[in-house]
Amino acid sequence: MPSVSALADRLQAARELSWRHLGKTIVFYLPGMIRLDRTNGKYPALSITGGDCILGCDHCQGTILNGMMHVKSPGQLVSRCRRLAEKGHHGVLISGGCNAGGQLPWDRFIPAIQEIKAETDLFISVHSGLVNDPDAFRLKQAGVDQALIDVIGDDETFKTVCHVPFGVNRIEAAMASLHRARIPIVPHIVCGVRYGKTRGEKNAVAMISRFKLQQVVIVSLMPIPGTRMEKARPPAPETVADIIAEVRFAMPHTPISLGCARQRGNSRMEVMAIEAGVNRLALPSEKAVEKAVAYGLSIRYQKTCCSVSRDLSTPSWDAQFSSE
């Protein structure tokens, strides 16, 4: 980590670079299944494996899946998405647990996704997992709008935390498959996933910088009760901000988000992310909004995952989106 003064200079340089290429704007996001300021998001997450996940990564152990809507058959996925579209939701994140190879059962659900895209205007994000070429191309043909993929930059961390027998080259291979299929890629760099310690985050930046990306999302360890990491100390806000700056210097023109998967109530992390020039931020605190105002940023609000590229933003949480 750089010294306090060196970090301040580094964040200022990253912030000014962001404003130069992407403008002095920020969009605050509210994902589905989360309530903020008495407002609900309109972009729920659905698990196609229910609460099942063979990998059982140490930081999650399937608990995150329990907060999603469970749709364990293609028919359930289609009917659920139809109802969500009728209720005015903007889209869905289709996720699920992985098998021992880090893959989701896409072959069963791809026809259902194609049916949903044909019948509705829902924007569809998928947690791709470690897809291969055939699945990536079929997801593209089905009409998937973007693929989210967690990126870990250290072999030992990947093997220890996620219990896989292979290294991070498999993550790079999955991104390459998505790139060849021309599915917009939104990598999520997980800061501190090694029990709160940073191991390979800057290598993860180098890994993703080899691809043309729709945007980059930075998340950090979120200790979850009942998991092996429930007592781990999350990375400091300074560490997360430093990684944001690293991404900005590597990809000056790429939007960067601070995602919702992070320690709740840590407004300092949000403020430092804004100091580093993030363009998007999920679940903003009052202090984050105040910081954006102090910088003179143009502020918009959107009730989706922060990865969503479709502009559905409004001047406030309460305003109704209009495409006109």
Decide if 140 is inside a domain: yes
Looking at residue 37, its pLDDT comes to 73
pTM: 0.95
Decide if 316 is inside a domain: no
Decide if 321 is inside a domain: no
Looking at residue 1, its pLDDT comes to 74
Q: Averaged in consecutive runs of 10 residues, what is the pLDDT profile of the chain (324 residues)?
A: 90 98 97 78 95 94 93 96 96 96 96 98 98 98 98 97 96 98 97 95 97 95 94 96 98 97 92 98 96 98 96 86 52
Decide if 210 is inside a domain: yes
Decide if 275 is inside a domain: yes
Domain extent at residue 73: 4-302
Looking at residue 324, its pLDDT comes to 43
Total domain count for the chain?
1
The tokens describing 303, both together, are: 């009730």
The CATH number that applies at residue 164 is 3.20.20.70
Decide if 312 is inside a domain: no
